[in-house]
Amino acid sequence: MLTEDDIDDITIRAAGDGRHEQAAAEFEDLAGQPALHGEISATTLLVHAGGQYGLARRWDEAVRCYRAALVASRDSGREEFDPRVWLHDALLRWNSDSTATAAPVTDEPDRGADATATPDATERLERATEATALLAEIKASRPRDPDVYAAVAETLAEHDQLVEAHTWYTMGFQRCQRADVPEYLLQLLLVGRRTMRRKLDYPLDELDLIADAYVDHQEQVAERSVN
């Protein structure tokens, strides 16, 4: 039966030799062998496969794996991490990469370049639409896991959607503050929110003061541990 140690072994090996696509294929192969799963679900294995494809910047394959993970999660009924978070992230990264590598618009005539070499605007729009729909779906499902909100907010921030990131940090804290979750996860949501508010030049509020106090406390703890 597979264990977390087996997942770590594949991940660490790929980090060392850079063969992320090989590791992704291995995770996919294991996902298709339910007799081996035990405590490790197909959803987990497919998410790891998507992560390895992402490290190889094969966003098309990463998206395919995350979509499969979402199906596996719904079929199993097991409450695990939410594959929609990773799928949303991969869709935005795929669009970002494809936009960066798209051929620039010039007045020069086409000299036989392969028109299918880069995704066209229609495909990018479809992925953006899917990503937006995923966010609406996650929001409507009202998850009680702070990590879901933090992950979405971090992705949005990385793509310069700071107002939206601020909204997800705030929403995560408001929805999860009475949930049975570790206190530090709530504090980290406030720290992320505070970072967005600084970048957006928003005025200080009560939640910012809580975030600042938490950061100050952590710095004091770290300083004492060094001394």
Q: What confidence score (pLDDT) does residue 120 get?
A: 80
Residues written for the chain = 227
- The residue ranges of every structural domain in the chain are 1-99, 142-217
Could you say which residues of the chain have pLDDT below 50? Answer: 103, 105-107, 109, 111-117, 119
DSSP string covering the chain = ---HHHHHHHHHHHHHH--HHHHHHHHHHHHT-GGGTTTS-HHHHHHHHHHHHHHTT-HHHHHHHHHHHHHHHHHH------HHHHHHHHHHHHHHHHHHHSPPP-SSPP-S--TTSS--HHHHHHHHHHHHHHHHHHHHH----HHHHHHHHHHHHHTT-HHHHHHHHHHHHHHHTTSSS-HHHHHHHHHHHHHHHHHHTPPP-HHHHHHHHHHHHHHHHHHHHH-
Return the closest-CA partner of residue 171 out of 189, 197, 198, 196.
Answer: 189
Q: What confidence score (pLDDT) does residue 105 get?
A: 43
pLDDT tens, 60-115?
A: 999 999 999 999 998 776 666 789 999 999 999 999 988 776 645 444 545 444 44
Return the closest-CA partner of residue 161 out of 187, 211, 199.
Answer: 199
- What is the per-residue burial (b if ≥16 Cβ within 10 Å, else e) of 34-50? eeebeebbbbbbbbbbb
Q: Provide the CATH topology of domain 1-99.
A: 1.25.40
Q: What confidence score (pLDDT) does residue 99 get?
A: 78
Return the closest-CA partner of residue 192 out of 153, 144, 139, 143.
Answer: 153
**Distant-in-sequence, close-in-space partners of 225: CB < 8 Å, separation ≥ 6:** none
The two structure tokens encoding residue 42: 């197909």
Q: What does pTM read for this prediction?
A: 0.86
**Distant-in-sequence, close-in-space partners of 20: CB < 8 Å, separation ≥ 6:** 14, 52, 53, 55, 56
Q: What confidence score (pLDDT) does residue 109 get?
A: 47
